[in-house]
Amino acid sequence: MTYLLAMTSAGLTILDPTNESIPATRQLLSRPVSVSGLTVGLLDISKPRGNVFLDRVEELLISRGAKVLRFSKPTFTKPAPVDMRHEIAMQCNLVIEALAD
């Protein structure tokens, strides 16, 4: 599931796109101080030019000492397959999902 983040004057708000009458409470995980030595998964959702953005992100991550694994959804119209999500969860410390038009 993808969550949207919105910055407001009150701070960070997490927007849940599901139709929940009572939204679930979720706690943010702490961010690492550095990506050096971590494995970062880059998920291309298969929208046009998303891979161009991820190519540059990959360069920057590698220059900062991260190992990068690339993943690509078969189509942007559906969630990533369960086996792909499992693979990402097992192999990556962090994930960046990119979309572009």
- Count the domains in the chain: 1
The model's pTM is 0.71
- pLDDT of 83: 94
In order along its 101 residues, the chain shows pLDDT tens digits of: 555 555 556 666 666 666 666 666 778 788 899 999 999 999 999 888 888 889 999 999 999 999 999 999 998 888 889 999 999 999 999 999 876 55
- pLDDT of 59: 97
In a domain, 28, yes or no: no
CATH of the domain at 63: 3.40.50
- pLDDT of 72: 93
Pairing of the two strands 39-44 and 94-98:
parallel
In a domain, 18, yes or no: no
The domain in which residue 39 lies consists of 35-101
In a domain, 29, yes or no: no
In a domain, 100, yes or no: yes
The DSSP code sequence of 5-70 is EEEETTEEEEEP-S--SSPPP-PPPPPPS--TT-EEEEEE---TTHHHHHHHHHHHHHHTT-EEEE
